[in-house]
């Protein structure tokens, strides 16, 4: 396993968290300060308002901090947006792009997601590019077609294991308590691995593939044991340090 393939356990706080929540971030930062962190990379993506303070809290912790979206431009007249350079300026190292909630709420298209990922990379950030089918698409048997299209159009040319992470997040599994079956996750991840290999050659094997959608302390061990699942993107269960750390702890068994 190359360094780039160290599994990544990422938390996405979405539009949750105020200064009161800094105690949870501190508890997560302290809770991952142990030898397991050499094998598992951890990341938390709080709202942008907490980025700078969060990175300061993680000064002496292996917990990385990232943002939940960025603008594709460098700076300028884009009210309400933040640039990748601003995230880097707050010592963030990752940014999520193309989350289905951004695609749904803000109309982010594959082309825009690709531009955002490229902007993130230009600022030195690793982009976590989210893909995944809706319930309708799943029922129509279109899951793999959707993944092919989204990966083709959302991932920038020249993507590497350092610049890019892909998160498979079935839209119907997000925040619903539903998860795909083990064979379904396996099939989706094997398919994405092949797509990346075909497009990027050997480097395509270094791009980590996360699973996201109702991952929690109860199902984490099973999901992280699936072939080509190189980590998790966790929403609801990342808000409480106890849950985040329980999922992190699941990796102990995997690597025992």
Residues 169-208 that bind ligand PGA (CB under 6 A): 169, 174-175
Pairing assessment for the beta strands 231-234 and 208-212 based on DSSP bridges? parallel
Helical packing angle, 110-122 and 143-154, nearest 10°: 40
Q: Provide, rounded to whole angstroms, the least separation between the CB of residue 101 and ligand PGA.
A: 7
What residue is closest to ligand PGA based on CB? 235
3-class DSSP assignment, residue 168: strand
Residues 10-29 that bind ligand PGA (CB under 6 A): 12
Please count the residues of this chain forming the interface with ligand PGA, following the rule CB under 6 A.
Answer: 13
Active site annotation includes 169: yes
Which of 133, 169, 195, 203 is the catalytic position? 169
Pick the piece of the chain touching ligand PGA (CB under 6 A) from 50-58, 74-82, 83-91, 213-221: 213-221
The rounded distance, in Å, linking the Cα atoms of 9 and 16 is 19
- Name which of 17, 42, 38 is nearest 210 in CA terms: 42
Q: How far apart are the first and last CA of the chain?
A: 16
If one asks whether residue 214 binds ligand PGA (CB under 6 A), the answer comes out as yes
Pick the piece of the chain touching ligand PGA (CB under 6 A) from 28-36, 187-195, 217-225, 232-240: 232-240
If one asks whether residue 98 binds ligand PGA (CB under 6 A), the answer comes out as no
98 or 156: CB nearest ligand PGA: 98
Alpha carbon dihedral 90, 93, 97, 101, in 10-degree steps, equals: -60
| Burial (CB count <10 Å: 0-12, 13-18, 19+), residue 108 | buried
Q: Provide, rounded to whole angstroms, the least separation between the CB of residue 238 and ligand PGA.
A: 7
The rounded distance, in Å, linking the Cα atoms of 112 and 98 is 8
The rounded distance, in Å, linking the Cα atoms of 110 and 147 is 11
Active site annotation includes 157: no
123 or 233: CB nearest ligand PGA: 233
Give strand pairing partners of 10: 43, 233
13 or 200: CB nearest ligand PGA: 13
If one asks whether residue 233 binds ligand PGA (CB under 6 A), the answer comes out as yes
Which of 99, 101, 195, 203 is the catalytic position? 99
- Name which of 61, 154, 166 is nearest 116 in CA terms: 154
If one asks whether residue 213 binds ligand PGA (CB under 6 A), the answer comes out as yes
Q: Provide, rounded to whole angstroms, the least separation between the CB of residue 179 and ligand PGA.
A: 9
The rounded distance, in Å, linking the Cα atoms of 96 and 82 is 13
If one asks whether residue 209 binds ligand PGA (CB under 6 A), the answer comes out as no
Q: Which residues of this protein are in contact with ligand PGA, per CB under 6 A?
A: 12, 169, 174-175, 212-215, 233-237
* Residues marked as catalytic: 99, 169
């Amino acid at each position: 396993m190359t360094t780039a393939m160290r599994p990544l356990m990422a938390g996405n706080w979405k539009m949750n968290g105020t200064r009161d929540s800094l105690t949870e971030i501190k508890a997560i930062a302290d809770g991952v300060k142990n030898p397991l962190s050499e094998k598992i990379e951890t990341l938390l993506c709080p709202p942008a308002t907490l980025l700078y303070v969060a990175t300061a809290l993680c000064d002496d912790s292996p917990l990385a901090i990232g943002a939940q979206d960025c603008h594709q431009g460098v700076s300028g007249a884009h009210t309400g947006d933040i640039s990748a350079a601003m995230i880097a300026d707050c010592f963030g190292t990752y940014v999520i792009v193309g989350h289905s909630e951004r695609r749904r709420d803000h109309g982010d298209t594959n082309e825009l997601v690709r531009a955002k990922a490229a902007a993130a990379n230009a600022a030195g950030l690793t982009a976590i590019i989210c893909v995944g089918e809706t319930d309708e698409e799943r029922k129509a048997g279109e899951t793999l077609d959707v993944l092919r299209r989204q990966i083709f159009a959302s991932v920038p040319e020249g993507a590497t294991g350092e610049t890019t992470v892909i998160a498979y997040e079935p839209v119907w599994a997000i925040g619903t308590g539903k998860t795909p079956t083990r064979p379904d996750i396996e099939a989706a991840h094997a398919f994405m691995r092949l797509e990346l290999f075909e497009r990027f050659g050997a480097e395509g094997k270094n791009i980590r593939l996360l699973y996201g959608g109702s991952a929690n302390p109860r199902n984490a061990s099973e999901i992280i044991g699936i072939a080509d699942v190189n980590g998790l993107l966790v929403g609801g269960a990342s808000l409480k340090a106890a849950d985040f750390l329980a999922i992190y702890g699941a990796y102990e068994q995997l690597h025992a």
